[in-house]
Chain A
């Protein structure tokens, strides 16, 4: 017994004496329980898959990456503690959180410690706070919504529009961005319909939508609510075009809503149907690995992992400050960093931009109607 103990202790000492095995420690702080669990799990699995692929291909700068996952419980107070914990644990960079209400709090902690953070949040305020350590993995809604509003005004000739939105910090961000653009393009808002998260029944909302005269409806709900909304709209025979973001026409929504998704259109940052083989393959690998269809949060997580790898290799060392400095004004092309799936750049505020698509769902598939240049 004593011999075993000494042997174990000796091994432990040898291990401790050796240089740290993983040079790149990453903290993945995500919503694994509470209302954000669906989004958080997707993001986490994206990050996991990204880093597993990277490790399988030799890691970053020849060293394997170690990810530690922390559950923020979709609670700003806990998320702040978890970011603090990840930093105390000595991470080089942080991925997450997805819910903006958490990110606006915990990004202050990462900023104080000078740790770059790759967030999945889309609220405009995130990049408006002069934080040199925050980077997006998807457009802020102030970036995506104008592209779509412009398409609605110029290509679809929309004048009167109804807005259906989720009454959460996510939906509110999209709603505010859209109202601003509506002002710019002179849309008349004929109906403004907030809905509840996890609402069982959308019949009342669709009834209201039917009762108004509009050229289109802008629908900004999360994936599952979008699916329920689309089904109800189909049931009540709504004919006006339903336009939205990835959350209205993404793969998860098509899977959930079935035929009812046909005819819905919108703006997507990343789509597996845009003739980008890398993306289609990524989605297939994801399905095979995790046994469910990834939503846009999974793709955000996946590209975050690869971005981090490429940037670290560009600066040549796993140094938080160097990574953050390098990110500003950086453009990553698919040629030099295939894992980002599409060419992408970041500006001085950490906001990203990239080409995106306007698609319509036809026969259960996204069909690209226009390619929208980066803005």
Chain B
């Protein structure tokens, strides 16, 4: 029993971070039909901005602020203006290729300019461990879970309750109509990219103390975010949230109870099953898109 509780809690803590990445993924898809193959690298990079900031002598929190700023500029504004926007008229494939190349570019740049080995990353939560019912839970786990839930919950509220949020949703669902109704669609899409950059920064700061900062982190994280987004439902934020948590838990459960050698197979099998049985994802809604 203690074993199961331990697995569930650790899985949720890890899964909540996957969810952050997955939510950003679905946001971009909704707003601009961008399948961002560099999403993993988006989560890898801000941690290095923090390290660079600290290397310049900033204390931790200002360094995180510095990282957020850089991420908004590079992963938000520059990504949208320089990569996505000029390519939108060409359809999806060139953009897919461009994001694959972008991921490679970010990975290789970090490797060349910062280093190929993993770096320790400062913890934002106290290094405390609580024990209950035989399970050990660190302040880090609880903190990660709370922060990511707050971020996603806040985002959901923003999208549903504020005017800007609703305009963003309208732009994502039907840009033409939104435009006619006087919504500044371009600006709304830009907001989406900024939100994705901010979510990636949060995810990066949360996961790096555990995962360590390394140039290749995006390979694993990107794949997980991708699977989580499809499993949960590619067009719903709550779907991505559930997908992320589910993948975190399933990964741990299968490592303990099924087969450690095939632990990474379980989420993939789930993915295939979902595509076959419920293509819109667990919580997704059907998209009426033509060919």
A and B touching (Cβ–Cβ under 8 A): yes
Question: When the two chains form their complex, are residues B214 and A38 in contact, meaning their CB atoms are under 8 A apart?
Answer: yes
| Chain B hits for A40, CB < 8 A | 116
- Which of A84-92, A175-183, A197-205, A356-364 binds B? A197-205
Question: When the two chains form their complex, are residues A194 and B260 in contact, meaning their CB atoms are under 8 A apart?
Answer: yes
B137 nearest CB neighbor, chain A only: A235
In the complex with contacts A194-B261, A201-B251, A207-B6, A224-B256 CB distance below 8 A: no
Question: When the two chains form their complex, are residues A193 and B260 in contact, meaning their CB atoms are under 8 A apart?
Answer: yes
CB distance from B13 to the nearest CB of A (A): 8
Interface membership of B158, Cβ < 8 A: no
A33 to B115, CA, bound (A): 12
CB distance from A74 to the nearest CB of B (A): 11
Interface membership of B109, Cβ < 8 A: no
Interface membership of B196, Cβ < 8 A: no
| Chain B hits for A194, CB < 8 A | 260-261
In the complex with contacts A35-B216, A37-B215, A203-B120 CB distance below 8 A: no
Which A168-217 residues have a C-beta within 8 angstroms of B? 193-196, 198-201, 203-205, 207-208, 210-211
Interface membership of A237, Cβ < 8 A: yes
Question: When the two chains form their complex, are residues A237 and B260 in contact, meaning their CB atoms are under 8 A apart?
Answer: no
CB distance from A287 to the nearest CB of B (A): 12
A228 to B120, CA, bound (A): 10
Question: When the two chains form their complex, are residues A196 and B264 in contact, meaning their CB atoms are under 8 A apart?
Answer: yes
Which A283-314 residues have a C-beta within 8 angstroms of B? 291-293, 295
Interface membership of B88, Cβ < 8 A: no
- Which of B160-168, B204-212, B229-237 binds A? B204-212
CB distance from B258 to the nearest CB of A (A): 11
Which B260-291 residues have a C-beta within 8 angstroms of A? 260-261, 263-264
| Chain B hits for A228, CB < 8 A | 210-212
Interface membership of A255, Cβ < 8 A: yes
Interface membership of B10, Cβ < 8 A: yes
| Chain B hits for A255, CB < 8 A | 120
| Chain B hits for A200, CB < 8 A | 14, 207, 210-211, 220-221, 224
| Chain B hits for A211, CB < 8 A | 3
Interface membership of A62, Cβ < 8 A: no
B111 nearest CB neighbor, chain A only: A37
Question: When the two chains form their complex, are residues B116 and A41 in contact, meaning their CB atoms are under 8 A apart?
Answer: yes
Contact of A292 among B7, B108, B117, B216 (CB under 8 A): B117
Interface membership of A236, Cβ < 8 A: yes
| Chain A hits for B111, CB < 8 A | 33, 37, 41
Contact of A256 among B6, B212, B260, B264 (CB under 8 A): B212
A199 to B207, CA, bound (A): 12
Interface membership of A258, Cβ < 8 A: yes
A32-54, CB under 8 A of B: which get 1 and which 0? 01010110111000000000000
Question: When the two chains form their complex, are residues A292 and B256 in contact, meaning their CB atoms are under 8 A apart?
Answer: no
Question: When the two chains form their complex, are residues B260 and A207 in contact, meaning their CB atoms are under 8 A apart?
Answer: no
Interface membership of A167, Cβ < 8 A: yes
Interface membership of A138, Cβ < 8 A: no
CB distance from A168 to the nearest CB of B (A): 12
Interface membership of B101, Cβ < 8 A: no
A291 nearest CB neighbor, chain B only: B115
Question: When the two chains form their complex, are residues B255 and A224 in contact, meaning their CB atoms are under 8 A apart?
Answer: no
Question: When the two chains form their complex, are residues B252 and A224 in contact, meaning their CB atoms are under 8 A apart?
Answer: no
| Chain A hits for B220, CB < 8 A | 198-200
A295 to B115, CA, bound (A): 13
A205 to B251, CA, bound (A): 11
Which A221-243 residues have a C-beta within 8 angstroms of B? 223-224, 227-228, 231, 235-237
A223 to B215, CA, bound (A): 15
A210 nearest CB neighbor, chain B only: B3
Interface membership of B118, Cβ < 8 A: yes
Interface membership of B136, Cβ < 8 A: yes
Interface membership of B33, Cβ < 8 A: no
Question: When the two chains form their complex, are residues B216 and A201 in contact, meaning their CB atoms are under 8 A apart?
Answer: no
A293 nearest CB neighbor, chain B only: B117
B140 nearest CB neighbor, chain A only: A235
A291 to B256, CA, bound (A): 39
Contact of A224 among B129, B207, B214 (CB under 8 A): B214
Interface membership of A80, Cβ < 8 A: no
CB distance from A144 to the nearest CB of B (A): 22
| Chain A hits for B215, CB < 8 A | 37
In the complex with contacts A194-B260, A194-B261, A227-B212, A295-B117 CB distance below 8 A: yes
Interface membership of A328, Cβ < 8 A: no
Question: When the two chains form their complex, are residues A33 and B108 in contact, meaning their CB atoms are under 8 A apart?
Answer: yes
| Chain A hits for B129, CB < 8 A | 235, 237
CB distance from B42 to the nearest CB of A (A): 16
5 smallest A-B Cβ distances: which pairs?
A203-B10, A204-B255, A41-B116, A204-B252, A224-B118
Given A38-B214, A224-B214, 18 extra CB contacts under 8 A: A33-B108, A38-B116, A38-B117, A41-B111, A198-B220, A201-B11, A203-B6, A203-B10, A203-B252, A204-B263, A207-B10, A207-B256, A235-B136, A235-B138, A256-B212, A258-B120, A292-B117, A293-B117
Q: List 7 A-B contacts (CB under 8 A).
A: A193-B260, A203-B10, A204-B10, A204-B251, A204-B263, A224-B212, A228-B212
